[in-house]
Amino acid sequence: GMEAMQKAHIRSMEIIPTLNKSKGWHSDMYEYQGFWYDSMLLQGLILAQDLFRAQSSDIFLCSHPKTGTTWLKALTFAIATRTQFDESSSPLLTKMPHDCIPSLELDLLKLLNQRDPETHFLATHFPYSSLPKSIIASGCKIVYVCRDPRDTFVSIWKFAEKILFKHTEPIPVEEAFEMFCQGVSHYGPYWEHVLGFWRASLESPEKILFLKYEELKKDPALYVKKLADFYGRPFSVEEEEKGVIENIVKMCSFENLSNLEVNKTGKHMLDTPFPIENNLFFRKGKVGDWKDCLTDEMAERLSQIVEQKLSGSGLTL
Ligand code: A3P
């Protein structure tokens, strides 16, 4: 109730001033449990850690920002609701994917107060080691999606230019890039975020499905099948023959989603002080777009950092 909420809030106000602080892209950033956040995000994380109780049937869609969250939400929602809706009746045609699957960050109060018992899929950007304890303790399944760090940086940067710097003075891309390489970015260091879920997926492959954006792009149908299996809702032979998988792939494709009226002109987070145009979640949806934005030198630097940090993990990005 309110009291627990106040307690958690007070706790976050006590913790924040004790943390390492650094200048970020648009505000001060704080290092908490090995990752960086601005104070608003961090308050939300501490609230979620103190108050959120997972149900064992919950399935979490986890990701670092800008690695394919919107797409994963769309695919998941389409897979989960395929017996109720098809590509001509799906809520995905009129609601943006973020409004189909709630997130711990944006929808925490709703999830705490009046959780829809039918909601089994939830999303978050919080790193594995900082997830509210009950998520792991209840044995919830997790899907994680990651992406080429260069494309991830560019995607974040382009998003930030449109949102963050509406209200504050923009910083040069070189400076933003430097902070990203230092790990000082929302939910950063990026490579640590990826590594946390990677290691956990090696330990518990039945609980954690680890995906890459680039592989999804290459063969979306294969991953739609894998996701359905992982969710315990495999496609029947009849469904496969009817082309249900291909229809989901098509409906959730960048081309289709980005051309829907809701995603072209609609807005997200209308009940907050920061509504965001839905179209900002659909920019290009390409692999290798970093080439248009980073110099070879920048790209090489980031690749080297990530390669070194991932060395010995069995993962390459
Ligand atoms: P770009 O900025 O490179 O275009 P997130 O959903 O985690 O915020 O990530 C956003 C990135 O995913 C953006 O990348 C966006 O264009 C891309 N994206 C959104 N919907 C997609 C889809 N249906 N298929 C592929 N990529 C998609």
Strands (E), the chain: 20-23, 28-32, 35-37, 59-63, 121-124, 141-146, 208-212, 267-268, 276-277
Which tokens in the block code for residue 297?
């030198």
Angle at 55 between CA 223 and CA 78, to 5 degrees: 30
Which amino acid is present at 212? Answer: K
pLDDT tens by residue, 193-248? 999 999 999 999 999 999 999 999 999 999 999 999 999 999 999 999 999 999 99
* Residue of 70, 98, 106, 217 with the most ligand 1 atoms within 8 Å of its CB, for mutation: 70
Q: What is the DSSP letter of 124?
A: E
Given this model, what pLDDT does residue 163 score? 86
Q: What are phi and psi of 25, to 5 degrees?
A: -65, -35
Q: Judge whether residue 284 has pLDDT over 90.
A: yes
- Which pLDDT score, from 0 to 100, does residue 187 have? 98
Distance 39 CA to ligand 1 centre (A): 26
Q: Is the dihedral of CA 288, 269, 249, 93 positive or negative?
A: negative
Q: Which residues pair with 184 in a beta bridge?
A: none
CA of 248 to the centre of ligand 1 (A): 17
What ipTM is given for this predicted complex? 0.99
Three-class secondary structure assignment of 227-280:
HHHHCCCCCCHHHHHHCHHHHHHHHCCHHHHHCCHHHHHCEECCCCCCCEEHHH
What mean pLDDT do residues 156-173 have?
Answer: 88
State how far the Cα of 289 lies from the Cα of 296, in Å rounded to an integer. Answer: 13
Mean pLDDT in the chain?
95
**Which residues sit opposite 209 in a β-bridge?**
143
pLDDT at 54: 95
The pairs formed by 82-89 with CB atoms below 8 angstroms and a separation of 24 or more are: 82/239, 82/244, 82/248, 86/247, 87/247, 87/248, 87/250, 87/251
Under a CB-based contact definition with an 8 Å cutoff, are residues 87 and 247 in contact? yes
What Å distances lie between residue 106 and 7, 112, 260, 266, 312, CA to CA? 20, 12, 23, 17, 35
Q: Is the CB of 95 under 6 A from ligand 1?
A: no
Instruction: Classify strands 35-37 and 20-23 as parallel, antiparallel or unpaired.
Output: unpaired
> pLDDT digits over 102-138, tens only?
999 999 999 998 888 888 999 999 999 999 999 999 9
Confidence of residue 268 (pLDDT cuts 50, 70, 90): confident
Q: Of the residues 125, 186, 193, 268, which is catalytic? A: 125
DSSP assignment of 154-173? HHHHHHHHHTGGGTS----H
Evaluate: CB of 223 within 6 angstroms of ligand 1.
Answer: no
pLDDT at 260 (0 to 100): 97
- pTM, rounded to two decimals: 0.97
pLDDT of residue 101: 96
Ligand 1 touching residue 68 (CB < 6 A): yes
